[in-house]
């Protein structure tokens, strides 16, 4: 008989394995995600958990990019559409969409929506791209992979420090 584990235990196991791979290989690995038609790299230490998009409760009088709140194991978590916030479109509601719960050292009970997960990317396999411009204040370094695909680094610490990101209500 197969051993049964909870979805939370499974997700925590996946994140632990991703972090252990990055640590054991002694490489600078990032989580590859798709946001608004662009490829982004997120530092693994900036993400507490990755999960399918749960049911969201909308909130009135907020910016279009603030999608509402989700109840995650008894905690209300604010959910923002990162593509809409960055001005690169809006999240398409597909089964591949994921919620990235940001690490509490940056901000408590906050998550961002991404279009899909693209896997673990090693910076050693990417070359810096000085031609690709910064699209926002939270955009870090830019890279190209071996086949010429562009990647942008997402600076979570800068993102959550932006007054525009913190002020979800419309004035």
Residue 141 has a pLDDT of 87
48 part of a folded domain: yes
Q: Is residue 103's pLDDT more than 70?
A: yes
Whole-number Cα distances in Å, 83 to 8, 65, 146: 26, 8, 25
152 part of a folded domain: no
Q: Which residues contact 35 (CB under 8 A, 6 or more apart)?
A: 82, 83, 86, 88, 114, 115, 154
Q: Detail the DSSP E strand segments found in the chain.
A: 29-35, 38-43, 47-52, 66-72, 75-81, 98-102, 110-114, 116-122, 127-128, 139-144, 150-154
2 part of a folded domain: no
Render pLDDT for 72-96 as a digit per residue (tens, 0 to 9): 999 999 999 999 998 888 777 789 9
Total tally of structural domains belonging to the chain: 1
Report strand pairing: 29-35 vs 38-43. Answer: antiparallel
- CA 86, distance to chain mean position in Å, is 13
137 part of a folded domain: no
115 part of a folded domain: yes
Q: What is the mean pLDDT of residues 131-160?
A: 85
Query: What pTM does this model have?
Result: 0.79
77 near 168, Cβ under 8 Å?
A: no
Q: Tokens at residue 140, please?
A: 């870090």
133 part of a folded domain: no
Report strand pairing: 47-52 vs 98-102. Answer: antiparallel
**By percentage, how much of the chain surpasses pLDDT 90?**
61
59 part of a folded domain: yes
Q: Which of 105, 92, 44, 49 is nearest to 72 (CA)?
A: 49
Q: Which of 142, 50, 35, 41 is nearest to 86 (CA)?
A: 35
What's the CATH code of the domain at 63?
2.40.50.180
Going by the DSSP 8-state scheme, the letter that residue 16 receives in this structure is H
144 part of a folded domain: no
Full domain range(s) for residue 116: 7-121+158-166
């Amino acid at each position: 008989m197969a051993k049964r584990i909870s979805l939370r235990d499974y997700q925590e196991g996946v994140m632990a394995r991703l972090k252990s791979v990055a640590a054991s290989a002694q490489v600078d690995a990032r989580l590859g995600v798709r946001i608004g038609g662009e490829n982004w790299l997120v530092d693994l230490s900036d993400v507490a958990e990755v999960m399918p998009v749960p049911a969201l409760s909308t909130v009135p009088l907020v910016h279009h990019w603030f999608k509402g709140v989700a109840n995650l194991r008894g905690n209300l978590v604010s959910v923002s559409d990162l593509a809409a916030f960055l001005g690169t479109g809006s999240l398409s509601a597909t089964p591949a969409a994921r919620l990235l719960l940001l690490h509490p050292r940056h901000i408590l009970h906050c998550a961002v929506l991404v279009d899909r997960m693209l896997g673990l990317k090693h910076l050693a396999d990417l070359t810096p791209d000085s031609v690709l411009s910064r699209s926002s204040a939270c955009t870090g370094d830019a890279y190209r992979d071996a086949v010429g695909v562009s990647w942008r680094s997402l600076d979570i610490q800068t993102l959550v420090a932006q007054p525009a990101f913190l002020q979800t209500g419309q004035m």
